[in-house]
Amino acid sequence: MSDVTPTEMMTVAASRALTSKDVCFVGIGAPSAACNVARLTHAPDITLIYESGTIGTAPDVLPLSIGDGELCETAVTTVAVPEMFRYWLQGGRITVGFLGAAQIDKFGNINTTVIGDYHQPKVRLPGGGGAPEIASSCGEIYITLKQAKRAMVEKIDFFTSFGHGEGGDHRQRLGITTKGPTLLITDLAIWKPDPETKEFTVVSLHPGVTRDMVQETCGWEVKFADNLETTPAPSTTELMTLRDLQERTKRAHEGGKAA
């Protein structure tokens, strides 16, 4: 499996966190790839929900956006956005929210709004969309992103989606009853929050990755679990499922058939 890329390792590792019992609110991009690999391999009965109101969607190719027709065409049903948020999300019917991030801090707080000062930003990002509500209303949150010091920072430039705030019991003190971020999967490692402080701690390194590699691409001082594990490499089935999905997606988006 020496030809596995870091992004492929990240996607497969993220997909393994999901089960057939999950009702998952899916973010576009890396989260969508992970969720659909799970659906196509070990979690065929997972219910995937996208922000546009599609429930039980089973796309043959990865969507370009939440408005991609592929989602509605393959969904069990499509509901109005207000119903999606009020009844499904805020009603506590979604077990997992799977999000990406432009910036994240050690407590799982996410910025997808701006880089730099809000009024004079270096980069203006797409924004939160439904992510702030997802972060507070889903049973728990999984996050995936590629490691880089500019992405994993000591202090995010803008609070888009609330993670564990200042750490500890900050969520509970604000009256948020859901678990918040419970898993961070990067292209180098798997992280979980400390039970007390809620600071993300590395619990597993992907094959070939060292502690130094993780620290060199992170903007805060990384903590490692005492019993640090090695992430199992992708199986042939996992890897081929992901690559076939990406190849179909590429052909479809280039104007060819996704067969």
Structural tokens at position 109: 């707080």
> For residues 88 and 83, what is the distance between their CA atoms, to the nearest angstrom?
7
Average pLDDT of the chain, as a whole number: 95
Q: How confident is the model at residue 254 (pLDDT cuts 50, 70, 90)?
A: confident
**What pLDDT, on a 0 to 100 scale, did the predictor assign at position 258?**
53
Q: 27 vs 257, which has greater pLDDT?
A: 27
> For residues 134 and 162, what is the distance between their CA atoms, to the nearest angstrom?
10
Domains and CATH numbers, the chain: 6-252 (3.40.1080.10)
**What pLDDT, on a 0 to 100 scale, did the predictor assign at position 257?**
53
List, for residues 19-48, the tens digit of each pLDDT value.
Answer: 999 999 999 899 999 999 999 999 999 999
**What pLDDT, on a 0 to 100 scale, did the predictor assign at position 255?**
75
**What pLDDT, on a 0 to 100 scale, did the predictor assign at position 90?**
94
The conformation of residue 51, written as its DSSP 8-state character, comes to: T
List, for residues 237-249, the tens digit of each pLDDT value.
Answer: 999 999 999 999 9
> For residues 28 and 69, what is the distance between their CA atoms, to the nearest angstrom?
14
Judge contact between 48 and 37, C-beta under 8 A: no
List, for residues 116-130, the tens digit of each pLDDT value.
Answer: 999 999 999 988 889
**What pLDDT, on a 0 to 100 scale, did the predictor assign at position 2?**
58
Q: How confident is the model at residue 253 (pLDDT cuts 50, 70, 90)?
A: confident
**What is the pLDDT averaged over residues 167-172?**
97
- Annotated active-site residue 238? The verdict is no
**What pLDDT, on a 0 to 100 scale, did the predictor assign at position 256?**
59
Based on its alpha-carbon atoms, the radius of gyration of the chain, rounded to whole angstroms, reads 18
Longest dimension (CA), the chain: 52
> For residues 61 and 24, what is the distance between their CA atoms, to the nearest angstrom?
18
Q: Which residues lie closer than 8 Å to 140 by C-beta, 6 or more apart?
A: 95, 96, 97, 178, 179, 180, 181, 182, 183
Q: Are strands 189-193 and 200-205 parallel, antiparallel or unpaired?
A: antiparallel
**What pLDDT, on a 0 to 100 scale, did the predictor assign at position 92?**
94
List, for residues 50-108, the tens digit of each pLDDT value.
Answer: 999 999 999 999 999 888 999 999 999 999 999 999 999 999 999 999 999 999 999 99
List, for residues 188-243, the tens digit of each pLDDT value.
Answer: 999 999 999 999 999 999 999 999 999 999 999 999 999 999 999 999 999 999 99
**Residue 254 CB-half CA count within 13 A:** 9
**Choice among 51, 70, 133, 199 that is catalytic:** 51
At 90 the three-state DSSP class reads: coil
- Number of neighbouring beta carbons within 10 Å of residue 112: 22
Structural tokens at position 152: 């994993």
**What pLDDT, on a 0 to 100 scale, did the predictor assign at position 17?**
98
**What pLDDT, on a 0 to 100 scale, did the predictor assign at position 162?**
97
What is the CA 26 to chain-centroid distance, rounded? 8
